[in-house]
Every structure is written in C-alpha cells, then in structure tokens.
C-alpha cells in the first residue's frame, strides 16, 4: 500500500462522551471512528446504487415467467 495523505477532522462531542472515552485509553478511537465513517460511506454508496437501479428498473414491466426459467433457456441456447 502506498503512502496515504491524511487530513484533520475536528468535531464537538458531549463532555460525558469524551470522559467515557478517556476511561478506555486502550481503544484506538481514531481508528474506530475512521472505520465507522468508512462503513457508513459504503452503506450510503450502496444505497445510492440501489436507488439508481430501482430508478432504471421502474419502467421495465415484470415478467410472469420465473427468472430461473429464463436463465436456463438462455444457457441451453448457447
């Protein structure tokens, strides 16, 4: 993996939350927060992709034939 450029993100949190975090100094909070942000971004990107797929499919009529049958016919025709 190449070198990674970093930047600083400052946030305000409740005092009680910060004090609770300080009781668990063995936790790498920066890494935990970064992992959470990465997971949330993946979730949001997936949601956007699924919304796009839904939008593309909305005008396509549903088939009365089961999908497995169409797949089998396609495979058999090759």
Is 69 in a helix, a strand, or coil?
A: helix
**pLDDT tens-digit series, residues 10-64:** 999 999 999 999 999 999 999 999 999 999 999 999 999 999 999 999 888 887 8
Distance CA 40, CA 37 (A): 5
Task: Specify the pTM.
Answer: 0.67
Distance CA 47, CA 43 (A): 6
């Amino acid at each position: 993996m190449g070198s990674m450029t970093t930047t600083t993100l400052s946030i305000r949190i409740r005092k009680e939350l910060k004090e609770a975090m300080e009781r668990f100094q063995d936790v790498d909070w920066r890494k935990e927060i970064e992992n959470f942000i990465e997971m949330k971004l993946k979730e949001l990107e997936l949601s956007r992709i699924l919304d796009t797929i839904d939008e593309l499919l909305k005008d396509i009529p549903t088939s009365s034939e089961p999908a497995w049958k169409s797949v089998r016919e396609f495979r058999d025709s090759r």
